[in-house]
Structure 1
Amino acid sequence: MSFYTCLVVMAGGALGTLGRYAVSVAAAPISRDLPWGTIIINVTGSFLIGLFGTLTLATGRFPASENLRLFVMIGICGGYTTFSSFSLQTLDLMRNGAALRAGINIAASVALCVAAVAFGHVIATYLNGPAAPPAIDDKA
């Protein structure tokens, strides 16, 4: 891991984070009943990492350098959504014949992440004290 590679990933992460914010703001008017901004981000990020990651393999139609792949797949997609990495890893498990492990990955990731969010929320609510309302702002 070189300093230059770290800069490449950081630059991609900044762009991905900005993209996430822009989509969240744009989707706010339709996100009253469901967090459509987050859903859109997760779906488009998953699509992007699948498309780019496959097209730019050494055996793909548009082979790309490792730094370009890191810039897009770790930087941009990672800043935009980590759900894209989860989706790619799950697809790889399925493609390699590990359907059971893919199912466990899906169930464990969803259940553990929802439980972790709930646990963090409980701890933060406690730390906030009784004056603060126990709500989560999903627009952050």
Structure 2
Amino acid sequence: MFKTLLIIGLGSFCGGIFRFLLTRFVQHHFLSAFPFGTMAVNIAGCLLIGIFYGLFERGHLFNADIRLFLTVGLCGGFTTFSTFMNENFVLLREQNYLYFISYTALSVILGLTAIYAGHLIAKAL
């Protein structure tokens, strides 16, 4: 059990660092109240987990430790649903309804599209 927790923790550590760096990079290039950085991270995370699970279904990456590292650890540490919800709360509190609706709708639609694209990419490999 300790080994499993260590594998997940290492993946989460890496994912959290990648999330921080990508969020800052994107938000720095889109100076706006709209949370582009978090949205980019969540969409990228959806694409990654789609690719990983697509590869698992094809019989690649059978190792359970690698699966845990990549999905629960890396993707879990990388994606930011709690931050997404908090940012929506702030947009609502500030009565920025257009950004709230746009952010929520785009995140859900693009996230599902990215997961589907990830599966397609994995099947094409």
Structure 2 length as normaliser, TM-score? 0.61
Amino acid at match of 2:54: T
| Alignment partner of 1:65 is 2:58 | no
Aligned length: 87
Task: Name the aligned partner's letter for residue 53 of structure 1.
Answer: Y
TM-fit CA distance, 1:54: 1.7
* SS class of match (2:34): coil
Distance 1:31 1:37 in 2: 10
CA contact (8 A) 2:38 2:80 kept: no
Structure with higher RCO (Cα < 8 A, 6+ apart): 2
Matched, 1:41 2:33: no
- Measured against aligned partners, the alpha-carbon deviations of 1:64-94 in whole angstroms (never above 9, x if no partner) come to 21111110100000111154xxxxxxxxxxx
Check whether the contact 2:61–2:67 (CA below 8 A) recurs between aligned residues: no
Which consecutive residues of structure 2, in runs of 5 or more, have no partner in the other structure?
A: 94-125
Matched, 1:11 2:10: yes
State the secondary structure of the residue aligned to 2:62.
coil
Q: Tell me the residue number matched to 2:22.
A: 23
Conservation of the 8 A alpha-carbon contact between 1:31 and 1:37? no
Unaligned runs of 5+ in 1: 84-109, 122-140
Q: Distance in 2 between matches of 1:80 and 1:28?
A: 16
Is 1:78 aligned to residue 76 of structure 2? yes
TM-score normalised to the size of structure 1?
Answer: 0.55
Query: Which has the larger Rg?
Result: 1
- Pair 82,22 (structure 1): closer, same or farther in 2 beyond 3 Å: closer
Q: Is the 8 A contact 2:26 2:36 kept in 1?
A: yes
Tell me if the contact between 2:41 and 2:80 (Cα under 8 Å) persists in the aligned partners.
no
What is the identity, as a one-letter code, of the residue corresponding to 1:62?
H
Q: Pick the structure with more helix per residue.
A: 2
Percent of counterpart pairs with the same letter? 30
Between the aligned partners of 1:5 and 1:31, the Cα distance in structure 2 is: 40
Deviation at 1:33, TM superposition (A): 3.9
CA distance in 2, matches of 1:8, 1:117: 33
